[in-house]
Structure 1
Amino acid sequence: MSIITTATALLADIAVETDRTDAVQAFVKQETILVEINSTGGLRGTGYSYTIGTGGSSVLALLQGHLLPLLVGEDARNVEGLWQRLFASTRSTTTGAITSLALAAVDTALWDLRCKRAGEPLWRLAGGHRREVPVYDTEGGWLHLSPDDLVESALRAQQAGWAGVKIKLGKPRADEDAERMRAVREAVGPSLHIMTDANQSQTVSSALQLAAAIEPFGPYWLEEPMPADDIGGHAQLARATRIPIAVGESMYAITQFRNYLETRAASIVQVDAARIGGITPWLKVAHLAESHNVMVCPHFLMELHVSLVAAVPNGKFVEYIPQLRAVTRTEMTVRDGMAIAPDEPGIGIDWDWDALDNRRVS
C-alpha cells in the first residue's frame, strides 16, 4: 500500500521571462499552485497548476479548505478513484476553472508519486509512444511585436530546426494581421509551419474575414478565433475555411471536447493539463481525439506536456513558452528541433524549493 500521510499546498508568483500580449490580455505573472503529497514508504509527489495573474489564491483556498483534507489516509495508488472523489466533492463549483486547476495540482502530484513508485518517467507510464516530439515557438510571436521582430524570431526558429512558430492575431484590422503573416511567410518560405492564435477575440463574422485574409499565407491552424463556448460559431467557421481550427486551452471538461469533435467544429485539440483537471482527464481527451483522427497539440506547460505528447500516438507538437526556469534546477531539453521528455522517474520537473520559497505568496 501507499497511504497518503500529508497533503499540503503553496502559492508562488513567477514573473514572466518576456512581455507577453495577445488580443485580449497580457500575461503579467504565473501564479503557480503546488501540491506536495507524502506517502508511506517515504515517497513524495509534487504537482502543480497555474493562472496567469488572478485567481491563484482562490485555487489555494479550495485545496486547503476542502480537497487536501480528503486525501489523508487514502491509498495514493488509486489515482482515478481519488480524482473522482475530489471531483464529486466539488459538484457546486464544477465545471469551472477554479475547480479544474485545483484538481490538476492534486492529480499531477499523484502521477508524480505513481511514476516514482514504478521507477518510470511519465512519458512511458502514460503510454510510452516515443520520447522526442517536435517543438514550435510562441515566445517570438506576441501581438505587440513588429513584423520585423516576428521575422527575426521565425528565422531563428527555422535555423534551429524547429517545426514552426506561432503568430498572435487580433489587430484592429484583418489586413494588419495578414501583413504580419505575409512578412513571416516571405521570410521563411513554405517549409516552416506558421500557427496563428486569435485568443477568442473574434465574432463569427470577423473570424470569417480574418480567416479569408490570412489563408493565402498557409497558416497551419487558426487557434481560438472565438469564445470557447461558441461551438456553433466554430463549426460554421470550420466549414467555411481550409485552415484547420484549433481549440482547447479554455475548456475544462471532457464533454466540451467531445462536443467539438462530434460537430467537427475543430480539427486540432489543445488540451491543457492544468485547465482540464490534471493528467488523468488529459489522457482521456487525447484518446478521445485519437478516436476522431485528430492530433493533440497542448497549450503552454511545456515542462509537463512534453511527456504527455510523447506518451500518445496522436501527440504532435509541444509549444515553447519557458516559464519555470526561475524555480527549477533543470529545463526542458530541445535538440535538433525536438523536445525530449525527461527520463527520470516522476513527471520530470526538478523544483528548486529555495527559489519557490522566495516567491511564496503568504
Structure 2
Amino acid sequence: MKITEIESNWFELPVKIKIGAMPKFKITGTLLKLKTDEGIEGVAAGHFVNSDEACAIFIRRWKKLILKRDPYDIEAITQDLINYTYRILIGNPIGISLVNCALWDIIGKSLGKPVHQLIGTYQRKVKAYASMPYWMKPDETVKMTKTALDERNFKAIKIRLGQGLDKDKAVIKALTDNFSPSELEVMVDVNSGYDLKTNLKLARILESHDHFKWLEEPVFSDEIDNLAELRSLVDISIAGGENNFGIHEFQTLLQKGAYDIIQPDATRSGGISIVKKIASLAEANGKLCIPHVFGTGLVQAANLQVIGSLSNCPYFEYGFYPDFILFSKDGSYELDTDGYIKIPDDPGLSFNLDEDEISKFLK
C-alpha cells in the first residue's frame, strides 16, 4: 500500500471565542486526508488556532516526505517530518501531528481495528469532564454546569478563569455554593492569563475547597522556571503542555519539575505516536498524562484512541460546545451514568466524518 494523494484544506466556523489572555478569535481548523492506492483514506483535523490556512499549505509542500510511501512506515515518516520540517526549518507542529494521526487512521482501517488496540489497549472507558469553551459569568457557569450534570451525566467540569481575581472569586463561590465536592470535580484553566504572583493567590483560593483538582496553564509554557516555582509553593496540581511539541520539550518540562500533570495533544504535540512516547516519559517520572483536547470531533477521536492505551490517564477532556462543530455523522459521545465514555472500537480513529457538513465551512 502506498500514499498517492495529500488533500489539506482549512475551515472557518461562524463562532468567536475569547480564552484567557488571548484576544477574541474565530474558530478555524485544518482538515487533512491522505489517500492510498488501495482506496483507504486517512482523515485527521487540527486544533482551533489562527494559522490553519498556513498549516494546510505546509502539509501540501511535504509531498516528497509523504507520497509513494507505505503508511505502515509511520515511525519513519513521522521522524522525517520532525527532523526535516521542524527541528531544522521551524515547521508546523500541527501539520506533523495530523499526518501521524491520518496514518494511524489508514493503518487501523486496513486492519479493521481501532487504533487503541494497535498501540496496546489499557482501558475501555475513561471518565470525561465537560470542558467549558470560554470564561462565563457566575450564573451562566452554574447553569451550564447543571446542564452538564443533569442532561449529560458529567461528574466533572473544567472552567476558564483568568479575567481578574475578583471575577474568578465570584465564579468559584457560585460553583462551591451550588455543588458539593462529592457531586462535582472542577478543573481550572487560566490559559496563561496570569503572572506567577497572581497564580499563587488563585491557587490558595482553589486549595480552600475540595472541588478543585488542578490549575492548568497558569503561565506561558516557556516560563519553565516560574512553573517549577509555582508548583513548589502550592498543593494543588499544576497541569499543562498543550503548547509544547515532541518528546524533547516534554522531557525538559519533566526534568525541570514544571508540571504534576502533562497534557500533550495528539493533534498538536506530534501525533498519536509521539503522545504515546510522552505518556511513557510521564509514567517513568511518576506523573499523569491527560491529553489536552479542544477542537472538532476528529480532535476528540484521535486523543480518545491514544487515551485508551494509557495507564496514567484517568480523564478525557470533552469539549462542551455546540454539536455542529463536531462534524460527526454519529453525533456526540454518550456518557454512562457514572460519567464515563466508552473508547470507540470502530476501525482507525473510529470517526465517521460528516462530509456534507464540514464542506460548508471549507475555504
Q: SS of the residue aligned with 2:45? A: strand
Deviations 1:254-292 (A, max 9, x none): 222212222222111111112112111111111111112
Q: SS of the residue aligned with 1:276? A: coil
Q: What is the distance in 1 between the residues matched to 2:82 and 2:113?
A: 27
Native 8 Å contact 1:121 1:346 kept in 2: yes
Identity of aligned residues (%): 26
Q: Which residue of 2 aligns with 1:335?
A: 335
Q: SS of the residue aligned with 2:22? A: coil
Q: Which residue of 2 aligns with 1:55?
A: 51
Paired AA for residue 117 in structure 1: S
Q: Please, what TM-score do these two structures have when normalized by structure 2?
A: 0.90
Deviations 1:91-143 (A, max 9, x none): 4333xxx511111121111000111122111222222112211111122x731
Q: What is the distance in 2 between the residues matched to 1:45 and 1:302?
A: 16
Q: 1:199 to 1:287 in 2, by over 3 A?
A: same
Q: What is the distance in 2 between the residues matched to 1:68 and 1:13?
A: 25
Q: What is the distance in 2 between the residues matched to 1:204 and 1:124?
A: 42
Q: 1:285 to 1:323 in 2, by over 3 A?
A: farther
Q: What is the distance in 1 between the residues matched to 2:124 and 2:224?
A: 34
Q: 1:247 to 1:279 in 2, by over 3 A?
A: same
Residue 299 (structure 1) aligned with residue 287 (structure 2) = no
For structure 1, the residue ranges without an aligned partner over 5 or more in a row are none
Q: What is the distance in 1 between the residues matched to 2:26 and 2:329?
A: 20
Q: Which residue of 1 aligns with 2:360?
A: 358
Q: What is the distance in 2 between the residues matched to 1:306 and 1:86?
A: 24
Shift of 1:60: 1.4
Q: What is the distance in 2 between the residues matched to 1:72 and 1:260?
A: 34
Paired AA for residue 56 in structure 1: D
Shift of 1:167: 1.7
Q: SS of the residue aligned with 2:308? A: helix
Shift of 1:343: 1.3
Paired AA for residue 200 in structure 1: S
Q: What is the distance in 1 between the residues matched to 2:347 and 2:228?
A: 41
Residue 287 (structure 1) aligned with residue 273 (structure 2) = no
For structure 2, the residue ranges without an aligned partner over 5 or more in a row are 294-298
Q: 1:305 to 1:260 in 2, by over 3 A?
A: same
Q: SS of the residue aligned with 1:214? A: helix
Native 8 Å contact 1:93 1:99 kept in 2: no
Residue 85 (structure 1) aligned with residue 80 (structure 2) = yes
Deviations 1:13-57 (A, max 9, x none): 2344xx6432213564432212222223222211222333x2111
Q: Which residue of 1 aligns with 2:308?
A: 310
Paired AA for residue 47 in structure 1: A
Q: SS of the residue aligned with 2:172? A: helix
Q: What is the distance in 2 between the residues matched to 1:30 and 1:203?
A: 26
Aligned residue pairs total 350
Select which of 199, 208, 222 maps to 2:200: 208
Q: 1:220 to 1:292 in 2, by over 3 A?
A: same
Shift of 1:323: 6.6
Native 8 Å contact 1:6 1:38 kept in 2: yes
Q: What is the distance in 1 between the residues matched to 2:23 and 2:340?
A: 28
Q: SS of the residue aligned with 1:92? A: coil
Select which of 27, 31, 45 maps to 1:30: 27
Q: 1:42 to 1:56 in 2, by over 3 A?
A: same
Native 8 Å contact 1:270 1:297 kept in 2: yes
Q: Which residue of 2 aligns with 1:156?
A: 147
Deviations 1:63-116 (A, max 9, x none): 112x1342111111100000111222214333xxx5111111211110001111
Residue 182 (structure 1) aligned with residue 173 (structure 2) = yes
Paired AA for residue 103 in structure 1: I
| Cα-Cα RMSD | 2.0
Q: 1:269 to 1:24 in 2, by over 3 A?
A: same
- 1:242-261 matches, within 5 Å, as 242-261=235-254
Question: Which 10-residue stretch deviates more, 287-296 or 152-161?
Answer: 152-161
Q: Please, what TM-score do these two structures have when normalized by structure 1?
A: 0.90
Q: What is the distance in 2 between the residues matched to 1:176 and 1:213?
A: 13
Q: 1:323 to 1:258 in 2, by over 3 A?
A: farther
Q: Which residue of 1 aligns with 2:224?
A: 231
Q: What is the distance in 2 between the residues matched to 1:15 and 1:324?
A: 13
Residue 75 (structure 1) aligned with residue 70 (structure 2) = yes
Question: Which 10-residue stretch deviates more, 283-292 or 85-94?
Answer: 85-94
Native 8 Å contact 1:8 1:68 kept in 2: no
Q: 1:359 to 1:157 in 2, by over 3 A?
A: closer
